[in-house]
A and B are shown apart, each in its own frame.
Chain A
Amino acid sequence: MDIVVCVKRVPTSDTAVKIAADGTSFDPAGVQYELNAYDEFAIEQALQIKEKLGTGSVTVVTLGPKDAQKELRDALARGADKAVLLVTDKWVFDSWSAGTALANWIKTVPCNLVLCGRQAIDADNNQMPPRLAAMLGFGCVTEVSKLDLVDGVFTAERDIEGAREVVTCRTPAVISCQKGLNAPRYANLKGIMAAKKKPLDEVPAAMPDAAMAIVSMSLPAPRAAGKIVGNGADAVPALVAALRNEAKVL
């Protein structure tokens, strides 16, 4: 099976977001980046499927800045065979234009499975996997936390509101990976050395203008500071009284 894993370089989850001077993006000053957390499960799943089948390839692709080489090298060190960086300097926010660039690239390579993280934790658009599936004519299951492949058919499990869904999906397919699907491996020294010799191609991203233009970006109103009602178990009656009489939530 030829597997393409779509990943994204995103600001770390402990980033305190500040607004850029133009008011339509985040201020990159001092921001640290990392591989989108959910993409780790997609990479791991690709490696496990390849190991189980004993054949096939794992190609990792991203749409992002040149600096995203770092995240791609990390994926190669974990065991991916090949990486491709579709280079753009813009913050990849709009999923229609990004999806167009990604799907058009995927169509040029052998691929019968696309694995993605459930969502990128910067834009939180939560739509790339099914969007790619429709553009590629593939089946799709989203937010998968258990996955089996038998005779070219996936059986996937995912959480929905108050229940769990079991979904079957033919290949070719796009699967979006939820935390809990697997335990991602980390790169070891041997992997890191091997990754230096693996191909990492850079291609300018063919990304059309956005379908969703950001008019403005803003921070939510800060919460007013609360009060410490007391210390230890002795403070419990005062807390319960406040919840009942002030906050009126009891």
Chain B
Amino acid sequence: MSQNILVVAEVRGGAVKRPSLEAVAAATKLAAKNGGKVIALAVGSGLDAACATLATSGAHQVVAAESAALAQFSGDGFARVVAEQVKANGCGAVLMAHTAMGKDLLPRVAALLDTGLVSDVVALDFADGTYTARKPVFAGKAFVQVRATRNPFVATLRPNNFEPTTGAAAPVAKVAANAGDLLSVVKEIVAAASDKVPLQEAKVVVAGGRGLKEPQHFKLIEDLAAAFGPGVAAVGASRAVVDAGWRPHGEQVGQTGKVVSPPLYFAIGISGAIQHLAGMRTARTIVAINKDPEAPIFKVADYGIVGDAFEVVPALTEAIRQAVAAR
């Protein structure tokens, strides 16, 4: 079995998403161990700019599988093309970023290749002819180290976990992709409001919980987030307030919501249930504001203020506003 590694790039609006470049970089480290080549694959149409980026990402070869019918993402259509390229290039591994597209596409590819898939991988290795990977389970309350027993090895990699790299310009090959009969197709992509930072990409997350007492009091949370300036902070919420209908599920942090690891996380009026901690315990710095000094959130917080959110948060918002203005 060849040791070549195929990395499926995510192309949106003609550009390669950063997590795909991280996946290429992770692949080059494996290739250095097993002597294989890294092949970066872009699928769709209008791929020239994306291929130019991929060519200097450390990959040994770039393949553009082009089809006008695949201009928009189709899970089944893309999977067929990727599986064909895995076979055509004799690949022993297939990698992609663990994004909305990666989570939709790579399991289909793995099924077509009749093999396993390890998802949300945070560390990868190749030794003695076998791939191993580390991934979180129970939303990060634990980790498993797994060993692949079937070929090829297929994995999705956690974004913001591997550093992208650069390399000498690799050749770009264009092939015609056979779109086939498409079962599902993306019809429209509606961009979110431009001033909203995606929760998992925000540098600061300000999260509120039941301690805020009423949904309208989330204004305090929104004001604190806004104090960091445009495009910096996102609002998060505990499961309790999402289940109560105060906030949309997209803002939920925890085991049945999103797992975030921003440089700075504020937990305000959140007691710190186990399932919430699972979603934010890897934040670099955690600040907790809670009026109960015994709240479990203080056990994981780097800095805590015991006090009433209605009193502390407005003062903090003003102080952050001044600190940001003084920069």
Contact = CB atoms under 8 A, between A and B. Distances in A.
Interface in B146-189: 146-150, 156, 183-189
Interface residues of B, number: 101
Given A140-B104, A220-B140, A227 B111 contact: no
Given A142-B103, A159-B100, A249-B285, A233 B303 contact: no
A239 interface: yes
Contact of A220 (B142, B189, B190): B142
A33 to B, nearest CB: 13
A193 interface: no
B49 interface: no
B145 interface: yes
B305 A130 contact: no
B291 to A, nearest CB: 9
Contacts of A232: 305-308, 311-312
B119 interface: yes
Contact of B256 (A37, A138, A143): A37
Interface string A213-250: 11111111001011111111101110110111001011
Contacts of A247: 264, 284-285, 302-303
A124 B136 contact: yes
B256 A134 contact: no
A158 interface: yes
A212 B131 CA distance: 10
Contacts of A179: 242, 249, 252, 256-257
Given A142-B103, A164-B192, A211-B116, A216 B303 contact: no
A76 interface: no
Contacts of B106: 127
Contacts of A168: 184-185, 187
A229 B111 contact: no
Interface in A9-34: 11, 13-17, 19, 24, 26
Given A13-B274, A131-B117, 8 more contacts: A95-B117, A96-B114, A125-B117, A132-B111, A135-B111, A155-B187, A166-B188, A247-B302
25 contacts: A19-B142, A94-B116, A96-B115, A124-B135, A124-B137, A133-B75, A140-B184, A142-B75, A145-B249, A161-B198, A163-B190, A164-B190, A168-B184, A169-B185, A210-B116, A217-B137, A217-B143, A217-B144, A218-B142, A228-B305, A228-B306, A232-B306, A233-B312, A236-B319, A249-B285
Interface of A: 11, 13-17, 19, 24, 26, 37-38, 93-96, 99, 121-135, 138-143, 145, 155, 158-170, 173, 178-180, 209-220, 223, 225-233, 235-237, 239-240, 242-244, 247, 249-250
